[in-house]
Amino acid sequence: MNTDQLLAGPRGRRLCLNLAAELEPRIRMAVFNLGYELDPGKGVSVVRFGTATDAGGATDLPAASPEELGALLAAVDVPDLDEMPVLAALDAAVATARYWQAPDGEDVLAALPVIREALRPVADRVRASPGAGWWEQPRAREQWAVDWRDPDAPAPLGQDLRTVLAEWARNTRAEELRALESFRYASGSWWSIPVGLLGTIRALPVGLDLVEDAPGWREATAIPVRGDGRTYEIRTADDWAQLCRAFPLEVTASRRHDWFQVTGRDGRWVIPDWERVGTQWDAVHLTVLGYLACAGRALTVDSDTASVIAGWDPDRTIWLTDVVRETGGQRQSWHRSQPGDAWREQA
């Protein structure tokens, strides 16, 4: 891992900005104010309330400029970072990912050259943190499959994944054809991986939090599994691009509206044809660093084609063939009272 990798992607920059905001109250306030000013939904979908005045009215919160925030970041002493604040910042970066509309104001802020450069000392500390020690590790042989239901409900592993992939391929091509024929600029499918595939995670409870666009689950059944077979590792943008070049599936018509909103790029889009990927690979694993560096970017595939990693959680392995089995170990039941609370294992 190097600093440029961590700051290359929207999620990596947001992680560093989240950490920076915890270092100094003035930085937190400046990030809050500038994030609001730069948000595309300012005053409509995002509303800010002012501070009360003696007269009982409201006054705007003071706003800093990006240059002033950059100076604050440059002046702050960045300490060694323990594991917990880094994991909390990672969780928040994942929770604020969105691929169906333009980036929020704090993502826009973190992408400004002056802020991106000022975040380098924070990124350096993240790289050295014990919380980041596993971010480049390949898929573990023994993992957990998660069923987001009551622990008393049956939680079987998904099977016959080739049938799932074949149906996904048919539906994706049909959706692309409908979008091409109608030529409607409307939101539709925005994710890059098939819905319904078996996915596994490395560790509990951290993996229960690192979920994009989560609907607020409060119950989880974790199933110990073991998976062998050939695994394609995604650590860099080029890893993803190579997969897209080897197994391209055109999704320009169906993804153009959302992915233009996310990246600002207007052009041809592809994703991997996962049905064909499954003829050579049993699983594909997105490392945490691969996620932080690549998710949400327009990743170049060739001179006129790009792709986006969207809807794929960090360190999640997706399985393309039926080579995953329960280990026979104890299933675990996890619960939290409200979304955002800490997960606790049930006895």
Mean pLDDT (10-residue bins), the chain, 347 residues: 95 98 94 94 66 43 82 94 95 95 96 98 95 94 89 69 94 93 75 92 95 91 93 98 98 94 96 98 98 98 97 97 92 92 91
- pLDDT one-digit tens code per residue, 13-51: 999 999 999 999 999 999 999 999 999 988 765 656 554
Residue located via tokens 């594909």: 284
Q: What is the pLDDT of residue 50?
A: 54
Q: What is the pLDDT of residue 156?
A: 64
Q: What is the pLDDT of residue 151?
A: 66
**83-95 vs 10-21: helix axis angle to the nearest 10?**
130
Q: How far from 161 is each of 13, 78, 196, 230, CA to CA, in Å?
A: 35, 47, 9, 15
Structure tokens of 198?
């078996």
- pLDDT one-digit tens code per residue, 20-29: 999 999 999 9
Q: What is the pLDDT of residue 148?
A: 87
- Which residue, 162, 119, 80, 64, is CA-closest to 292? 119
Q: How far apart are CA 326 and CA 227, in angstroms?
A: 9
Q: What is the pLDDT of residue 55?
A: 42
Neighbouring residues of 24: CB distance < 8 A, sequence distance ≥ 6: 72, 76
Contact (Cβ atoms closer than 8 angstroms) between residue 172 and residue 82: no
Q: What is the pLDDT of residue 53?
A: 41
Q: How far apart are CA 99 and CA 260, in angstroms?
A: 10
Q: Determine the longest span between alpha carbons in the chain, in angstroms.
A: 70
Exposed / middle / buried, residue 195 (Cβ in 10 Å: 0-12, 13-18, 19+)? exposed
Exposed / middle / buried, residue 134 (Cβ in 10 Å: 0-12, 13-18, 19+)? middle
- pLDDT one-digit tens code per residue, 293-336: 999 999 999 999 999 999 999 999 999 999 999 998 999 999 99
Helix or strand run (H / E) with residue 268: strand 268-272
Q: What is the pLDDT of residue 158?
A: 67
Contact (Cβ atoms closer than 8 angstroms) between residue 293 and residue 183: no
Q: What is the pLDDT of residue 52?
A: 40
Neighbouring residues of 64: CB distance < 8 A, sequence distance ≥ 6: 29, 30, 33, 34, 72
Contact (Cβ atoms closer than 8 angstroms) between residue 228 and residue 323: yes
Q: How far apart are CA 330 and CA 224, in angstroms?
A: 7
Which residue stretches of 189-333 are H helix?
A: 206-209, 237-246, 252-263, 274-277, 288-294
Q: What is the pLDDT of residue 324?
A: 92
